[in-house]
Structures are given as C-alpha cells and as structure tokens.
Structure 1
C-alpha cells in the first residue's frame, strides 16, 4: 500500500550513525550514506546526481535490500520511500547475520594495467570497494603477491585525470579471477565520485568515461 506524505512524516524516525550503503538504479550502482530511517522511508546523502531510472533498490553493507523510490531531492540529500514498510531494526543492524562488517562493493566495467614480475598486462575490474577489488586477467598471480595496478582517471588519478599506481596484495585467486586488497584504502567520497563518473554518458564524462574506451 502506498504511504502518503503525512504517513511518512508520522512514522518514528531514527537518526543513524553513518551507514555506508549503495543504490542500484536499474543496472547502475552508486554509493550513498544512510543518514536516518523509519519503517516507511529513509534519508540518504548522495555524491552525484542520480541517473534516470525505472527501479531503485537500497542495499546495505550486510546485503539487506529494500525496493524504494525517490520522493524528494535537495542538494546532496534525497528522501526515499520504501515500497513496503520495513522493520527499522533491519536498517540499523549494520552487521546483520554476517560474521563481521562488510565493505560495500560497486559493480564496474573498467580496464586497467597490472604490474607484476616485471610485466605490465591488461586487466579488467569487475567491482570496487574502499579496500579492494575483483579483477580478471590472463597473468597467473600468487596469493599474497604484491602487485601494482593503474586505472587511468581512477580514484587516485589526480585532478588532471592521469593514472596513478595503486598497490595491492592478492587475497584470493580463481584464475583468471583475483581478489585484491589495497595497501591504502580509498576515501569514501573519492571512490563514490569516481564510480559515479563512470556511469555518465561518454559525451559528458570525457576522461571519466569507462577506462580503455577513451583515445
């Protein structure tokens, strides 16, 4: 049943500590921060304008998912209305049934270069978080091997969009897929704005378009 604006305002709201989450808008994923919530909706902080979409899902770090729609936007904030009322405890419980705190991962389709054993080989990034990434490539890597990856225009690419080395260790492997843990974590806003730029149309994104497709 659709909740009216009055019903949404009447529902008890809980101000949260910062909860990192993501919004899935059709096939696009963007980072956000869950600021407060009630059984009928939530307020989130955004890092970039939301793309046009037909379907929106809020996903917490613990994997909980809630279908919703945007009912207002003001600056970097937006109000969401859940399709169905939810138990607020599900929104407050950051860990949920898992064994520990999880990082929010964003699906990407991003090309890069990996340096290992004196070789520079192409790789593809399939997801990114503040602490690591899932990549694939033809080169065989060792678990715990220290590697260097470059992503032109990436989160640490600098103001001019140039590439910058990111050092990481191989956490797991299932060739040709590998999980990396970064030696230095990204700031949340840095990662959020970079991934948001990847979603922009190429004629708007320019150098921020999906890597490997420019030039």
Structure 2
C-alpha cells in the first residue's frame, strides 16, 4: 500500500539537535506504525529514521504524553521522547540508540500482518435472525477480534454497527468460546482507521489536528 498517498507529499521533517543531525539518516521511509501511550494507541507514518531519532506524521494531532512507545508491524517496540511537535508532524528521540538497519528491515518471527490496535469499541452485531452486543479486543484495517455472548456460525455474514463503522459487514472467520475473528468485507483505508481510532480514544486529537 502506498502510504505516501494517504499523508501527502510534504518534505521530510528534520531533527532539531546536533546529535541527531550528525547521525546517519534514512529518508523517505514511508512505513506505518503505532504510538502507544497513556492516552491510547494511535496510527502514524514513520518518515525519517536515524540511530537516535525519528520523524513521523499522523492523521490528527499528536499525543501529548511526553514519553511514548513506537511499535512496528512486527511487534517490536522502542521507547521515544518527543522533541518537537507541530500539528500532525513530530520529531522524537529514542531513549536508547537503535540499530537503524534492524528498524528499517523489520524482522518477522511470524507471518506478516497489518497493525492491530488493542482498543475496546462497543459494537452491535446483527445477522438475519439475531442481534447482540459485542466489544472489540483488537482491530486492524481488515478485521477485528471481538468478544460476544451470542452464537454465530463460521462464515456467517454480520452487520457491524458502532462508532466509526458506517454500513460495515464482516464474515466470521473463526470462533473460540466467546471470542470471534471477523474479516471486514470493505477494509478501512489507513486514514479512516487512524481517524476512527482517535475518535473512540481521544476525540480532542481531532479538534487539534
């Protein structure tokens, strides 16, 4: 997926301290990741990276927590501290210098998958014969793991209603006790997913973006 199309074609950000300016930098590293902090989990796009810091762009205002974790698609996490923020753009310093090649060329111990956000969103799941309340345990652009007391069949098509879910339908891919794996018929774009996640966790970020 071309993430640059979703975030625009602005020039890459620059770091603000001399240590970062002196570190080897990989520019135009357009890669999705998530910021994890006390305010929640939020999608971003990593644009520049060096051994000492990164620049990112989000789809809304950045979290105000000064210390966060940057989590990649392969699950690796790096503690970062905000250096500069300007609207949807920000520069961050790694608490501990990183091996750039490891970050750029992500290693995978498991099959690749899209970023999952561990957020709880109340939902209503409906089939032709019943409706039931549910809550997400995690969610990605393509699907979600939900908890629901009702019984639905594998491959059953459900209507999904909830904040950020407009006319969404999903297929039941797997079931384990009260947990279900749903695959959306129409996937979220990265921008749609980011905005929805911010709206349910910290709506003020949309006002400040």
Q: TM-score, normalised by structure 1?
A: 0.81
Pick from 96, 116, 133 the counterpart of residue 144 of structure 2.
133
Matched, 1:6 2:18: yes
Secondary structure, counterpart of 1:20 in structure 2: strand
Alpha-carbon distance between aligned partners in 2 of 1:142 and 1:118, rounded to the nearest angstrom? 12
Runs of 4+ in 1 over 4 A off after TM superposition: none
Tell me the equivalent position of 2:197: 195
Give the corresponding residue for 1:114.
125
Partner in structure 2 of residue 82 of structure 1: 94
Matched with 2:7 is none
Task: Please list the CA deviations of residues 117-145 of structure 1 after superposition, one character each: whole Å capped at 9, or x if unmatched.
Answer: 42111111122211111111111122222
2:120 alignment partner, SS class: strand
Which structure 2 residue ranges, 5 or more long, are not aligned? 1-15
Contact 1:26–1:55, Cα closer than 8 Å, also in 2: no
Q: Distance in 2 between matches of 1:16 and 1:182?
A: 31
Contact 2:33/2:70 (<8 A) preserved: yes
The count of residues paired between Structure 1 and Structure 2 equals: 190
The alpha carbon displacement at 1:99 in A equals 4.1
Shift of residue 69, structure 1, vs aligned partner: 0.6
Distance 2:30 2:181 in 1: 27
Contact 2:161 2:167 in 1 (8 A): yes
User: Which deviates further from its counterpart, 49-58 or 118-127?
Assistant: 49-58
Q: Mapping of 1:159-174 within 5 angstroms?
A: 164-174=166-176
* 2:8 corresponds to: none
The answer (yes or no) to whether the contact 1:140–1:175 under 8 Å persists in 2 is no
Name the structure, 1 or 2, with higher relative contact order (CA <8 Å, separation 6+). 2
Q: Distance in 2 between matches of 1:90 and 1:166?
A: 37
TM-score, structure 2 length as denominator? 0.84
Counterpart contact for 1:107–1:127, Cα < 8 Å: yes
Moved more, 43-52 or 80-89: 43-52
